[in-house]
A = this chain, B = another copy of it.
Amino acid sequence: MEQELENTTTRTINQDEILQAALRLFAQKGYFNTSLTDIKDAVGLKTTSGIYQFFKTKQAIAQTLQENILDSLSISIDDIRRRNRKASEQLREIVDLLFKLTDEAPEIIVFLLFVKTNDFLPEQPPLLNSAPFNKIKRIIQNGIKEGEIRTLDPLLAYSYFFGIIQHTISMVLTDALPKSAENYQAQAWLAAWGCIAKK
């Protein structure tokens, strides 16, 4: 039983609290099932008005959320590419990151990979054309050029590889697979890499 800590004094909210609450709610219930009233409750405001100090519209909250997540992922991938030279190593570390996030910050993975952001952010490019995923596609292209990955349409290689990774993560998040993501990480990597690796 969780004890509600009633604050008699006025709460002071910042932009990040709103984003965190919205991320959790969007991931749990979906964007359209989440009202500003829900977000206001989650951050401990009395009315929705306070939210408008930070965001003009509900859409803007979702957009900021997506930008932040994509930016952060993009930076992580840059870092991974800097520290590793081979495509296999780079992809391996990206998989590590995604599985680690699945356990430690599932809302981020749900919002990134499984919420259909296009339904409420129609202006945004599809995930596959976002900066971080363009970088992943480039890693695969390099892997093919260097002979690490067998010769096939880079987009198909991407599709096979991340199909396995994403589907496995999805099954962890829906509890179709009973254990935490880290328990499936090594096997999923082997299957996904084996699917596109040369020889």
State the A residues within 8 Å of B (CB): 29-30, 32-33, 114, 116, 119, 126, 128, 152, 155-156, 159-160, 162-168, 171, 174, 176-177, 184, 187-188, 191-192, 194-195
- Judged by DSSP, the binding face of A is helix
Number of copies: 2
Give complex CA distance A166, B191 in Å. 16
Contact A160 B155 (CB under 8 A): no
Contact B116 A176 (CB under 8 A): no
Residues of B within 8 A of A184 (CB): 156
Give complex CA distance A174, B129 in Å. 11
Contact A156 B174 (CB under 8 A): no
Give complex CA distance A171, B166 in Å. 13
A4 to chain B, nearest CB (A): 26
Give complex CA distance A163, B113 in Å. 13
- The 8 A-B residue pairs with the shortest CB-CB distance, nearest first, are A163-B167, A32-B32, A163-B163, A30-B119, A163-B164, A159-B168, A160-B191, A159-B167
